[in-house]
């Protein structure tokens, strides 16, 4: 299963609402996870099952979608949110999206 993300990068300001889209090449139901990665660090799990926030993850992060189309939304971007975000499907052999880099405008 191929995963795509859009945009590949975006520039935003603190306080902005940011939406990242992830699309699967076939239906994956809700077997979709989101990770955040900062430079030089390992990925960190944010959301599982398309919409379930992991413990300790700020509520400004939310996920939605099912089937082939998914979104990650950051309601009010904070300085610590500048990072690269990856979607990952668990419907079959694990695959990741190519990532969306969020940087400072």
Partner 1 sequence: EVQLVESGGGLVKPGGSLRLSCAASGFKFSDYRMNWVRQAPGKGLEWVSSISSSSISIDYADSVKGRFTISRDNAKNSLHLQMNSLRAEDTAVYYCARLDYYGSGSLETILDYWGQGTLVIVSS
Name which of residues 27 to 56 contact partner 1 (CB under 8 A): 29, 31, 33, 35, 37, 41-45, 48-49, 52, 54
Q: Of 25 and 52, which has the nearer Cβ to partner 1?
A: 52
Token pair recorded at residue 104: 């400072």
CB of 99 to partner 1, least distance (A): 5
Report the distance separating Cα 35 and Cα 85, nearest Å. 6
Q: Of 37 and 64, which has the nearer Cβ to partner 1?
A: 37
């Amino acid at each position: 299963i191929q995963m795509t993300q859009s945009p590949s990068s975006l520039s935003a300001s603190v306080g902005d609402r940011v939406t990242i889209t992830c699309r699967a090449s076939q239906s994956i139901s809700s077997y979709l996870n989101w990770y955040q990665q900062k430079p030089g660090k390992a990925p960190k799990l944010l959301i599982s099952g398309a919409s379930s926030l992991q413990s300790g993850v700020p509520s400004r992060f939310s996920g939605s979608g099912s089937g082939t189309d998914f979104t990650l939304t950051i309601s009010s971007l904070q300085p610590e949110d500048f990072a690269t975000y990856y979607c990952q499907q668990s419907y079959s052999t694990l695959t990741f999206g190519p990532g969306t880099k969020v940087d400072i405008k």
